[in-house]
Amino acid sequence: MARRKERGPWFWRSAIALMLTSVFGLFAAAAIHQPPPTDAETGCRLDREDPVHTIVLVDQSDPFNATDLDWVRTLLDGEARSLPRYGRLTLLVPNSAAPYDPAQVFTGCSPGSAAEANPIFQNPKMIQQAWERKFHAPLMSEADDALRDTVAPSSPLMEAMYTIADRADFQGHVPARRLILVSDLMQHSPGFSMYKSGADEEAWAESGLADMRAGLEGVEVVARIVPRQEYALPLSEVKAFWRGWFEAAGADYGSVT
């Protein structure tokens, strides 16, 4: 009977090396997938490295009807679902009492969706539950409460956007920034009012607000026009005014719907 060949030292050295490599590999993989520290209230990264920040400014100076409310909710839901993990969503409304201090209704970051989960290191079901409980449900609840406020004496849209441009969490270090303006686009404040001056660029140039500039370089801006039975000015003139205003601010003014 042939004698079983004994394994030499090279075999055991290779086995030990393979085992150590596997162990270190598992530790390395776990370290890579270790989530960064986040704020307990917002779910946003403490290092402020937001991959995306979308700001939705909802102007509700005139009442929203039930249809308006439904499509605004749908818009917010779609924006929330499109965010990557740690992407930030902020909902603001203009503030008539303090035009340069728009009211923040909600700000928070997505914990990620089940579709993004790595099943080896993460539980997709738990991630989906966290997304709903910590992010989506609070956003929609706060939005519903804010949208019940139906009338404001003015619409300081420009003042709000000057402040948005200065936000520390909305600067160039954020790879992707979006500003969604939900409004009838009628700027109305002591600084400049379209109800008094129309969508007139010369009247705007002579106003006090014209001395300021919203630094929105690299920001994608989308205007969602709230439907009205009757507009105070021809909508084409209002759209053209804002296109020039945003282009002067450096924004990527891609669409008006």
User: What's residue 27's pLDDT?
Assistant: 45
User: What's residue 228's pLDDT?
Assistant: 75
User: What's residue 31's pLDDT?
Assistant: 43
User: What's residue 95's pLDDT?
Assistant: 94
- Read off the pLDDT of residues 164-190 as tens digits, 9 standing for 90 and up: 999 999 999 999 999 999 999 999 999
User: What's residue 33's pLDDT?
Assistant: 55
Nearest to 249 by CA among 177, 148, 190: 177
Which residues in the chain show pLDDT less than 50? 23, 25-32, 121
User: What's residue 20's pLDDT?
Assistant: 57
- What's the token pair of residue 164? 């948005």
User: What's residue 195's pLDDT?
Assistant: 93
- Structural domains in the chain, sorted by start: 52-256 (3.40.50.410)
